[in-house]
Structure 1
Amino acid sequence: MIFFSPIGRRTGARLAAAAVAVLGCVLHQPAHADELVVSAATSLTDAFKNIAAAFEQQHPGTKVILNFGASDILMRQIANGAPADVFASADQTAMDKAVGAGVIDTASRVDFAANSLVMIVPADGKLALKTPHELATRSDVARVALADPASVPAGRYTQKALEADSKQLWEAIKAKAVLATNVRQCLDYVARGEVEAGFVFGTDAAIAGRRVKVAATLPTPQPIAYPIAIVKTSQHAGEAKAFVDYVRSSAGQTTLVKYGFKPAAQ
């Protein structure tokens, strides 16, 4: 049984309503000629804000509009007609869905960063949890924050990592799950102590600073890779390519490393 904490449910409802409002706004307000719309996975928020600012300095005639969210939700926005020039996903599955929907220039698709998956606990937690198995077996662990595997790459990576250990481990932890609509919401649940533990990307744990502690790093069956591509309907293909190139440049990669990302496998 998957359940939601009262606070988590209210927070989720507010975020869902906000997402609908943002989507409605995006769908009905075309980007201006000098605006480059970049839809990027939530875990890229801090790094891409920095990258966008640096890109704008090099391209003074271009304003980068950043749209962050769960990768699958961003893909659906683009497929439904929301203006976007660049799509950066936190996993291959979301990008594969974009390919299937025919919304990206497949020739432009390339991996640009890698990440890790970690189990985190509140910084002031008293349970001294160290492994996912403890989450499954200990009676004093009632709630575990998970990004929703149905729409969030971090959730998919978590499910596959736990299932690689055993199906029973995944099922036991899923029964205690408080589902999050994106990886940063999952991080917040843990940081606020609303759950005993959670699973996020290593970069998200680093952003949280002293609010959470990393209890374990989980191996994943597939590497955590971030692909980026130009949206097929982009009216700013030249600028979009320049942005992708900047993300992959030494300056862009230095910024990504600064925020805890690893270089993409070559």
Structure 2
Amino acid sequence: MSRFACFFVAVAMLSGFIPAAQAQDTLTVFAAASMKNALDDVDAAFTAKTGVRIVASYAASSVLARQLERGAPADVFISADTDWMDVATAGKTIDEATRVNLLGNTIVLIAPKNSKIGTVAIGPGFDLAKLAGDGRIATGDVKAVPVGKYARAALEKLGAWNAAAPKFAFADNVRAALLLVSRGEAALGIVYSTDAKIDPGVRIVGTFPADSHLAIVYPVAATATAKAKAADYLAFLRSQAAKTIFEKYGFKFLVTPSA
């Protein structure tokens, strides 16, 4: 940074345009879109305890991993599957020593709240295409977005994918898929149970068997360029306080909580 630039930043801080402690007391977190409501609450609790402000960027795990590859500045990455954390590990954009499998989830079939579709028994022979009728089925992009990948794997195992595939509307992330169903633009959707629970515009009509897809795991890690305070944040994510919040939203806590 040039002397002029340093002088400008110093003046800006003194003038109140940039808080003096902002650089030291802010962490940037890249997190899977499905975590937003729960993680916002966790972040607020962390800030209340430490004074460190969290700037969270929510998107599909695939998008966030690619942003890290391109050098986007972040301190922590939380993915909705292990595949994209593996990509970040291979690309050395995260500190592998800090990686922890933090949370678990389930995928469910949802319909608009006023839908006439009743409870669905999801198992071998499940006919999703017939259930959708003339309507669309929303989920994440099955080639990249974790929820879409889980959905396709489950439907393939249950023998329902080939018939249902033409009826799918693929969204950029799970919250976009949720919105399509909530607005009635899709007759059905496959999302995480935690997403379905936060949107009053949808209702869960069925739950996919856990053995129909790989376990849904949310790994977390500090990035390779993380600030030192990221260690405190990662520790808080493993705390009893964070566990209580995550479980309130329906996530499974996969680690033994610290005090």
Matched residue count: 230
Corresponding position of 1:231: 223
| 1:166-245 matched pairs, under 5 angstroms | 166=159, 169-209=160-200, 211-219=201-209, 220-234=212-226, 236=227, 238-245=228-235
Counterparts of 1:116 and 1:139, CA distance in 2: 21
Return the letter of the residue paired with 1:48.
L
- Aligned-pair CA distance for 1:226: 0.6
TM-score with structure 1 setting the length = 0.82
**Mapped contact 2:178–2:189 kept (Cα < 8 A):** yes
Which structure 1 residue ranges, 5 or more long, are not aligned?
1-30
Counterparts of 1:48 and 1:128, CA distance in 2: 32
| 1:107-186 matched pairs, under 5 angstroms | 107-128=97-118, 130-131=120-121, 133-138=126-131, 140-166=133-159, 169-186=160-177
Which structure 2 residue ranges, 5 or more long, are not aligned?
1-21
Return the letter of the residue paired with 1:92.
T
**Larger Rg belongs to:** 2
Corresponding position of 2:48: 57
Return the letter of the residue paired with 1:147.
G
Return the letter of the residue paired with 1:54.
A
- Aligned-pair CA distance for 1:254: 0.6
- Aligned-pair CA distance for 1:109: 0.5
- Aligned-pair CA distance for 1:217: 0.4
Counterparts of 2:94 and 2:131, CA distance in 1: 45
Counterparts of 1:139 and 1:257, CA distance in 2: 31
Counterparts of 2:88 and 2:34, CA distance in 1: 19
**Mapped contact 1:135–1:141 kept (Cα < 8 A):** no
Q: Secondary structure at the match of 1:233?
A: coil
Q: Secondary structure at the match of 1:33?
A: coil
- Aligned-pair CA distance for 1:142: 2.9
Kindly provide the CA deviation profile for residues 8-33 of structure 1, in whole angstroms up to 9, marking residues without a partner as x.
xxxxxxxxxxxxxxxxxxxxxxx833
| 1:21-32 matched pairs, under 5 angstroms | 32=23
4+ residue segments displaced more than 4 Å: none
**Mapped contact 2:79–2:85 kept (Cα < 8 A):** yes
Kindly provide the CA deviation profile for residues 160-208 of structure 1, in whole angstroms up to 9, marking residues without a partner as x.
1111112xx2122211011111101111111111111010000001001
- Aligned-pair CA distance for 1:59: 1.4
| Higher normalized helix content (fraction of residues) | 1
Q: How much is the aligned-residue C-alpha RMSD, in angstroms?
A: 1.7
1:79 counterpart = 2:72: no
- Aligned-pair CA distance for 1:221: 2.6
- Aligned-pair CA distance for 1:139: 7.2
- Aligned-pair CA distance for 1:265: 6.5
**Mapped contact 2:139–2:171 kept (Cα < 8 A):** yes
TM-score with structure 2 setting the length = 0.84
Q: Secondary structure at the match of 1:103?
A: coil
Return the letter of the residue paired with 2:33.
T
Counterparts of 2:104 and 2:33, CA distance in 1: 14
